[in-house]
Amino acid sequence: MAYVRKTESLVMGIRRTVRDMRTKAAQPFRTGDIENGTPEYDALRSVVETVGWKAAPELRSKMPSEWKTNHNEVIVEVSVPNKEVLTQRVKNTSGKMFHMPPNFSSSFYSGQLKINGSDLPPILTAWFDTTDDKKKKYEAITEKFQTLETKLEMFMQQHASLNAALKDMPELELYVPDEFMSKIREPSKKRDKAPTEERPVYESLGLDANELSALAVGHRIATAAE
């Protein structure tokens, strides 16, 4: 086994591995706008005109078309209690323009509209609930991997070589890029003799060997399934 000195590129490689795992694990829980073409988007589009005419709903069907303002898209700001505010551009679909009151906006391309949670149908209320749950999971996963990255950097600071780090915690191999593991598997040379190091107690950093293995194996399974 060859001696592999700890270098900045080695530490950066480990850090990059953790970040790749974080991105993969958190991806299913990323949140964003309501996607066009979904039932939720159609429901939101319907809510736009309903809320736009909320002050005088009876005029929506009675007002002459030429008095209404037509818009290609509307920027909505949806506020639901205890949820993150959603700001999104809602565009016309299938050539259907938004027909809004005369005082809504003078711009053909877009107008702005505030929507309250009480104006939303059940399908959109459920979307916000699901999105909120996903956001919490995304934040929890992100925090877990950020903490892991910090602990592994601290762990590597206590070693002068990859050899010593692996001797102290073999599970680290799951986070070391192949290029460094290939080097360490090469036949040793006399000049590669590793200096004597004291073995630190990795538990003092809060590193859990079982969790390290579980996270890495889970990442490999998810990657292989693609």
> Would you kindly state where each structural domain of the chain is located, as residue ranges?
8-29+131-224, 39-120
Q: Which residues pair with 139 in a beta bridge?
A: none
**What's 58's DSSP letter?**
T
d(CA 50, CA 202): 60
CA distance readout (Å), 224 to 18, 26, 176, 217, 218: 17, 17, 18, 11, 10
Q: Which two tokens stand for residue 176?
A: 């070391």
pTM for the predicted model, two decimal places: 0.70
Q: Amino acid identity of 224?
A: A
Pairing between strand 86-91 and 73-79?
Answer: antiparallel
pLDDT at residue 202, rounded to an integer = 57
Average pLDDT by consecutive 10-residue portion of the chain (226 residues)?
93 96 93 87 90 92 90 88 83 80 71 88 91 91 95 93 93 94 84 50 66 78 68
d(CA 153, CA 179): 19
